[in-house]
Amino acid sequence: MTYSIVSFDPHDGSLGFAAQSHFFAVGSVVGDAEAGVGVVVSQAFANTDWPHEGLAMLRAGAAPDDVLATLTASDPLADYRQAIVMDAGGGYACFTGDRCAPHAGVARGEGVAVAGNMLASDGVCAAVLTAAHHDPGTAHARRLVSALQAGERAGGDARGSQSAVLKVVNGVRGERPWRHVLADIRVDDHADPVGELRRLLPVHEGFRAIGAALFAPPLVIGDASRITAADARAMVEALAGVAPGLGANREADLWRAVILLRCGESAAGGALLAELTADRPQLGEFARGLQRIGILPTVEVRP
C-alpha cells in the first residue's frame, strides 16, 4: 500500500527516507530513522514492530541482512510484507514477500533503495530511483521529495494518494538522537500529499532557523550581554535568508528584529519592528510583553 525510498548521503553522512501511500498518516507507521544508526521501513501488509525492532538490532551492531533475516523468520505472515533496512554507512538489505500485492518491486542503487507494492505500474520504483540520483548537489531532503514526485508521475500507488512522510537524520550517533533530526515532516491526509510535502519543506527549513535562534541562548533568551557580534550577524543573515520561503509568514523577521535589538542594533531592529507592527498592530503589545519579561530592551514600540 506504499512506496518508499531509503537513502544515505556520502557527502554529509545523513540518512533519510520518504514514503507515499493511499493510507491515512503513513508517517506514523511506515518506518523510522535514527542518527548514526540507520533506517528501517516496513510496508505492504506492514508489521509495525519491524522498524522499532530493526533499529534496536542495528543499534546493537547487527548487519542489515541479519536484521531482515531475524525479522522475517519470527513473523509467520512475512510473505505479505515488504521492508528495507539500511545501516549508518549506507549498506542495506531489501525484502519483498511472495504475497505482496502487485505491482510490487524493488529498485537498488549505491546507497539508495526503493520498494513499493500496490503500485500503478512496475516502473514506479525505477522512476523513484532515477530521480534520487539526479542533481547530487541538492540537499538530501529535497532529493527525497523530488524522488517521490517522480514516483507519482510514474503512477504511484494504484489506489491514489493520501499521505506522505519525509525524515532525514545526520550521521552523529549519541544518547540523544532526537537532537540530530534534520527534517521530519508528515502530511497525513491530502489530495496531493507529495506536493504538500514539497510546499512544506521550505517552511520547515525556515522554522529550523527560527528554532535555532529561539532555543539556543543567548540570542533570544538568557543574558544578552553574552551575545557575540559574529553569532548575531550569522543568525540575522540566516533569518533574512529563510524569510522569502515563508511567504506572508513574518516569523523570521520578527525574531530577526528581536536579535538586532538585543545586540544593540537599535536603528535596524526598531525599523524592522515598526514595519512589522504597522502590518500587524497586535505585535506592538507582544513586543511590550517581551520588554516586561526582559527579552527586549526598553525601546519605543509603536502601537
Residue range of the domain that includes 74:
2-188
Asked if the structure places residue 98 within a domain, the reply is: yes
- 103 and 223 fall within a common domain: no
- 182 and 238 fall within a common domain: no
Q: Is the peptide bond between 51 and the residue preceding it cis, with omega within 30 degrees of 0?
A: no
pLDDT 10s digits, 48-62: 999 999 999 999 999
pLDDT at 137: 72
Banded model confidence at residue 302, pLDDT cuts 50, 70, 90: low
Asked if the structure places residue 301 within a domain, the reply is: no
pLDDT at 132: 95
pLDDT of 80 above 80: yes
Asked if the structure places residue 211 within a domain, the reply is: no
- 41 and 162 fall within a common domain: yes
How far is the C-alpha of 168 from the C-alpha of 183, rounded, in Å?
5
Work out the mean pLDDT of the chain and round it to a whole number. Answer: 95
- 21 and 112 fall within a common domain: yes
- 17 and 156 fall within a common domain: yes
Q: What is the DSSP string of 72-87?
A: HHT-TTGGGEEEEEEE
Asked if the structure places residue 79 within a domain, the reply is: yes
The CATH code of the domain that includes 101 is 3.60.20.10
- 287 and 159 fall within a common domain: no
pLDDT at 290: 95
Domain finish residue from 188, 205, 234: 188
Q: Is 37 strand, coil or helix?
A: coil
pLDDT at 38: 98
pLDDT at 300: 58
Asked if the structure places residue 255 within a domain, the reply is: yes
pLDDT of 188 above 70: yes
Asked if the structure places residue 208 within a domain, the reply is: no
Asked if the structure places residue 303 within a domain, the reply is: no
- 252 and 182 fall within a common domain: no
pLDDT at 301: 53
- 142 and 225 fall within a common domain: no
When pLDDT is averaged across residues 100-118 and rounded to a whole number, the result is 97
Banded model confidence at residue 138, pLDDT cuts 50, 70, 90: confident
pLDDT 10s digits, 222-268: 999 999 999 999 999 999 999 999 999 999 999 999 999 999 999 99
β-pair type (105-109, 31-34): unpaired
Banded model confidence at residue 216, pLDDT cuts 50, 70, 90: confident
When pLDDT is averaged across residues 158-170 and rounded to a whole number, the result is 97
Asked if the structure places residue 209 within a domain, the reply is: no
Contact 92, 84 (CB under 8 A): yes
- 133 and 240 fall within a common domain: no
Of all residues in the chain, what percent carry a pLDDT higher than 90?
95
- 248 and 287 fall within a common domain: yes
- 116 and 254 fall within a common domain: no
pLDDT of 207 above 70: yes
How many domains is the chain partitioned into structurally? Answer: 2
pLDDT of 303 above 70: no
Joined together, the cell numbers standing for residue 81 give 510484507
- 277 and 148 fall within a common domain: no
